[in-house]
Amino acid sequence: MKIPAETDFGSRLRSPAVASRVGLWLGVCFGLCFVTGLVSHYAQAGSQPVPFPTSPAWGYRVTQGVHVLAGTAAVPLLLVKLWSVYPRLFRLPARRPSRALLLDLAEKGSIAVLVSAAVFQLAGGLANSTQWYPWAFSFRSTHYAMAWVAVGALLVHVAVKLPVIRETLAGDINDAERDRVSATEPGALSRRGLVRTTLGASVVAVLATAGATVPFLRRVSVLGVTTGDGPGGVPINRTAAEAGVDPAATGAEFRLTVVHGDREVQLSREELLAMPQHTEELPIACVEGWSASGSWTGVRVRDLLALVDAPPDSDIRVSSLQTRFAFGTSRLWGNFVEDERTLLALALAGEPLSLDHGFPCRIIAPNRPGVRQTKWVDRLEVL
């Protein structure tokens, strides 16, 4: 099979003018993904020099929703961007002085890293948003590490191409001055039409999935995997059976253990229900990008710490009855414990928690990632 040459691609649509404009929007999406991804990573970090804030309660819901939607919007942009510059892949290095040749190879190498990292991030992110994990490695740590690789390669690429980017963005989109010599054939669309169609495809992709986190868009979000179905209007990511929770352990013999040093109390669910109950409207917001608000009722966590004479701003370790998957335990920082909206929830939407929602009790706190809203809680330990 003959390897194509750069001159085999004659469409005028494959031009720096199109690549720069699509690349500009792609850069905006990548920037949003990177910043909101850092927020999400920090919110889940085991060590936080500056405590992650508890307000606004919807903060993580917004940042993670933006993260996933920006990644979704980036997919059509990346495909068209790669299509527009694809012929460059087959450009043979001319016979130049060795320094110029090395620079050319270095540029191609940085582009290869950028393309590989971008494809990996977007493909992995889409798989995560559908809760499909066909790999054995940790998605969170790998996605985080590759984000730095992608952003670093993107900055190098922008720095190298900045003169071309500035010139083409400042000029007319139909200006052919920087086109390849062989790019003379008209396309099925005008250049402006191609850019607008690409942006339109990104908007459609966002609308098709945004209902997972924006309730009023759920009627049009045909590809929203999780759209608010579930007991109390809150979807269930992982069932009790999947998490390895023994239903017998949640029955009459269940006791919540609260520990502070040598002080320890054990409470049945009936005893928890006898304590002052409080109701808070708080969202569950997951790393997959979906979120839903719920009306949660239960005992303030700081009231439970008072039973063992612990300071209300103590850090605590929350343990669960789940036996499979990560996040069976989590650390609840002192500012979350002290916040009166942080509950050991016993009910959702006025009904006792379902087993799959964490019966007999679960943590619900404002502005906290869903994976840290531990279900099937059986122990709170002051650290």
Residues 17-57: tens digit of each pLDDT: 999 999 999 999 999 999 999 999 999 988 889 999 999 99
What pLDDT, on the 0 to 100 scale, is given for residue 327?
83
What pLDDT, on the 0 to 100 scale, is given for residue 95?
63
Q: Between 98-129 and 16-44, two packed helices, what is the crossing angle to 10 degrees?
A: 50
Give the predicted TM-score (pTM) of the model.
0.90
Helices assigned H by DSSP within 171-312: 191-209, 269-274, 301-306
What pLDDT, on the 0 to 100 scale, is given for residue 94?
62
Quick check: 89 and 14 in contact, CB under 8 A? Answer: no
Q: Specify the DSSP element, H or E, that contains 52.
A: none
pLDDT digits (tens, 9 = 90+) for 168-187: 999 999 998 888 888 889 88
pLDDT digits (tens, 9 = 90+) for 282-339: 999 988 888 899 999 999 999 999 999 999 999 999 999 999 888 889 999 999 999 9
Q: Tokens 């510059």, residue?
A: 85
> Cβ atoms within 10 A of the Cβ of 55, count?
11
In this predicted model, which residue has the larger pLDDT, 101 or 291?
291
Quick check: 166 and 158 in contact, CB under 8 A? Answer: no
User: Lowest mean pLDDT: which of 94-98, 153-157, 194-198?
Assistant: 94-98
